[in-house]
Structure 1
Amino acid sequence: MAVETCVAFLLADELDAEEYAQFKPKTPPKARKVREQEEEEDVDEDDDEDDDGEKNYFSAAVPSLSVLDFQKYFQLTQTQVEELVRLLSPCAWATSKLDGWTVTHAVLASLWTLSTLESHCSVAARFHTNESLICHQLNEFCTLVTTNFADKIRWPKWKEADVSVSGFSSSVGLPGTVCVVGSCVIPIERPSDVLDPEAYRDSEKEYSVNLMTFCDHKGCFTYVTAEHPGSWHNSKVLLETEVGRALQEDPLNLLRGNHIIGDATFPLSEHLLTPFPDYGTLGEKKLRYNLKVRAALKVVQGSLGSLRSKFQRLRSLQMNSITQISLAVKTCCILYNKYLETNNTADVECMEEHSVVQEPFHELPNGHSGSLGGISKRQDIAASLGRKPKKESSKAYCRQWYEV
């Protein structure tokens, strides 16, 4: 009931003028009155006109919010939000002693802030509070979510790894693939808590961080990092991550004989496979392998696109602390994984329009064509993919004959 009350409180600006005129109270509802309404089971019949107007507004607005509309505003279902409130309620909130401000308010205000590009001032107006509280509340929310729900982002092991390998094998036809890796840039303000803030300026002279993510076959984030400069090449960012170090120091424990799929910006190895460089001379099997790699990469690209679509604050993160930026991005990824709990797979068609555009690793001054193990494994997989169906091969042959 507390969630419904706060949702109704937020919908004032979403109703059109004619609808809102019927239910608008004579004076704006006060946060104190909202809290009293949540705590009291019975409403006194002798309440003043302000209370009656507030009651009518809530009773009219809440039923008008469908299940889909609720998830549109807050990205999670109402049941998930209620669970979030319940699990975070015992935490030590710095704002818990504020009069009229509850954990429900804190959760919904933070979800709303992350889901939209509304100014903090506008969000504060929705909650009848001040801008500084909204900013402080968002930082506190992100800290508590990343602390209490860290297990929502975990590397697939044992059964989970087998399920992901099977999923990639059946969906894109690449055997032994446990995860795919991709990246995008997150615009930020000039960092204030790093030694060299200018390192975070990209080629367009804007400040940004590189969000590198690994996903399983459903598009669920299994590892994320968002603390390195957006100007860094993907191969450099990878080396600074826990996954990158594990690939070098203990790949067997990390992958159990499987591999990761990445694009050409990553170094080829037997543990991280990339597409064949295409200079127009690739054979049929290598081209088929590249098509399957591209299909696998759509999973992580789709998740990054969906993430930025649902949590639009990531398109313009108004923060200048790399620590807080990393927590905010990770919070959005955790919430996105919770979203996938009620939605089977990510929208692979929602491609990321701000993906990092970088040179292939093998064309870098310090790059190479790949390890011997990686070159051999990639060729073996390409050779094992089989021939195209006869009908498709026949069409290709006829087209080639016609062009000659």
Structure 2
Amino acid sequence: MEDDTSNDETLEEDYRHRRRRLIIAYCMKKKRKHRYWISQHIQSWKTSSEFNTLFNELDDENFKMYYRVSRQQFDELLTMIAKDIAKIDTNFRKAISPEERLAICLRFLATGDSYKTIGYNYRVGDRSVSRIVENVCQAVWNHLQPIYMCLPTEREWKEIAENFMLKWQFPNCIGAVDGKHISIKCPPHSGSQYFNYKHFHSVVLLAVVDANKKFIIIDIGSMGRFSDGGIFSDSAFGRRLQNNELNLPSDQPLLQGGTAIPYVFIGDQAFPLQKHFMRPYPQSACRNSREKRNFNYRLSRARNVVENAFGILSMRFRIFRRPLECKVESVDLITKAACVLHNYLSTNQTIIAFDEASAEDGSVLRSVGQLHDNVRATREAFHVRESFCNHFNNNNIN
């Protein structure tokens, strides 16, 4: 009886083993057919993508309108970043070429369409588009921003000041500062942290712009609920300015033979008045003072360059004209790449940005919740503003 039982168990085990092998073989055979069908389908689908049909057919003018760069600039960018964005082919599919990856990223920046829409046009998955955009933006930033931790020299700051004097008649000015709210989809579990006073969710791009509407310093990533003044004070740029760590030139007189005045940044009423930062007089002080209204006009006219720079950035890269539906970290990468591309398309000049890597104390860019109410300016800051006010009202400056 025991031998019969053991034989039955052996036969049953062999049967289960053969049955399992047949099932595995059937699944493998079916899987291979599925992969073959998918590869054939993708091959025929890819031939009708935007990259294959438009990239070589567009003339130079329409190519620049479509990708926001000329063919020569496209080739230059591709030469710089090709090694960083290239992928290796596998046994099952061919990798997307660096040319198409750069084209996908530039088209995404130019239109602001969703990942799915870009994926439909270029015949790739939306997750692939997401990874491509992040990869290309990081590569663009790394290659167009080689002096990542360096600051302008004293001579470069003076050249910026000379341009402000020539174009906007504001002497000793080395940059206009303002913040731009970049609309985003509400991040998960963030509550109202990114909800701003304009009633939408955003992160803030704090930027310093020169007289030619090019970005000198950018600070991206702060939550939309914070004010521009609070973000400025908490940022690495604001702390370095307060600690005199920006390599600013020594004080120079506004006119030959006059009193030496510091070089200053300019901003609106949201920013604090400091020795190296000028803001307008409050409206209550301007009601009966033509001199102070004249100073506010001069400052506002020079400060418009930062508003113009934001407008050019939004018109060139339409992604900033609609909410970004991606991670906050991706928003930071996209914004940095767009800003450096803005400078590249203008003069190929790189920009300086402060972030976690560039801050010597290891602090982060995002505000951490400090409120900067009751921030009082020093007597020296008031004296500097009065000096500028007297200069504008006592000298014939158009």
Confirm or deny a common fold (TM above 0.5): yes
Residues of 1 paired with 2:373 and 2:396: CA distance?
A: 41
Q: What is aligned with 2:292?
A: 286
In the TM superposition, what is the alpha-carbon distance from 1:224 to its structure 2 partner?
1.2
- Corresponding position of 1:170: 166
1:299–1:159 CA distance, 2 compared to 1 (3 A): same
Q: TM-score, normalised to structure 1's length?
A: 0.71
Of 337, 340, 347 in structure 2, the residue corresponding to residue 334 of structure 1 is: 340
With normalisation by structure 2, the TM-score equals 0.72
Give the direction of change, closer, same or farther, for the CA distance of 1:365–1:150 in structure 2 (3 Å limit). closer
Cα drift, residue 276 of structure 1: 1.3
Structure 1 residue identity aligned to 2:291: K
Task: Supply the distance in 1 between the matched residues of 2:164 and 2:89 (Cα, whole angstroms).
Answer: 45
- Asked if 1:148 is matched to 2:143, the reply is yes
Q: Deviations over 1:248-277 (max 9, x none)?
A: 222562454411011110000111001111
**Partner residue of 1:157 out of 137, 153, 158:** 153
Which of the pair has more CA radius of gyration? 2
Query: What amino acid is aligned across from residue 374 of structure 2 in structure 1?
Result: G
What secondary structure, in the 3-state scheme, does the structure 2 residue paired with 1:186 have? strand
> Aligned partners of 1:167, 1:96: CA distance in 2, in Å?
50
Q: Secondary structure at the match of 2:192?
A: helix
How far apart are residue 319 of structure 1 and its match?
A: 3.8
1:31 Cα deviation from its structure 2 partner:
7.4
User: Contact between 1:155 and 1:222, CA under 8 Å: does it hold in 2?
Assistant: no
Taking structure 1 as reference, are residues 241 and 162 closer, same or farther at Cα in structure 2, changes over 3 Å only? same
Q: Which runs of 5+ in 2 are unaligned?
A: 1-40, 252-262, 350-370
Equivalent residue, structure 2, for 1:367: 374
1:113 counterpart (105, 108, 112): 108
**In the aligned structure 1, how far is the partner of 2:310 from the partner of 2:70?**
21
Distance 1:96 1:264, change over 3 A: farther
Equivalence for 1:348: none
Contact 1:186–1:211 under 8 Å retained in 2: yes
Q: What's the counterpart of residue 281 of structure 2?
A: 276
Which whole-Å deviations, capped at 9, do the CAs of 1:151-193 have from their partners, x for residues lacking one? Answer: 488753233212110011111111111111011111112235x
Kept in 1, the 8 Å contact 2:60–2:70? The answer is no
For 2:74, which of 76, 81, 87 is the aligned residue? 81
- Structure 2 Cα separation of the partners of residues 107 and 122 of structure 1: 16
Partner residue in 1 for 2:211: 217
Query: Could you tell me which of 195, 207, 223 is aligned with 2:201?
Result: 207
Q: Percent identity of the aligned residues? A: 18
By how many angstroms is 1:287 displaced?
A: 2.0
| Distance in structure 2 (CA, Å) of the matches to 1:320 and 1:90 | 26
2:85/2:98 contact within 8 Å kept: no
Uncovered stretches (5+) of structure 1, i.e. residues with no partner: 1-26, 39-53, 344-363, 393-404
Corresponding residue of 2:390: 383
Separation in structure 1 between the aligned mates of residue 178 and residue 135 of structure 2, nearest angstrom: 28
Aligned length in residues: 321
In the other structure, the counterpart of 1:16 is none
**In 1, Cα distance between the equivalents of 2:197 and 2:293?**
32
Displacement of 1:208 in angstroms is 0.9
For 2:169 and 2:267, the matched residues in 1 are separated by 15
Q: 1:121 to 1:365 in 2, by over 3 A?
A: closer
TM-aligned CA deviation for residue 196 of structure 1: 4.9
Q: CA RMSD in A?
A: 3.2
Q: What residue number does 1:48 align with?
A: none
Q: Which has the higher contact order (CA 8 A, sep 6+)?
A: 2
Distance 1:220 1:30, change over 3 A: farther
Q: Are the counterparts in 2 of residues 218 and 299 from structure 1 also a CA contact under 8 Å?
A: yes
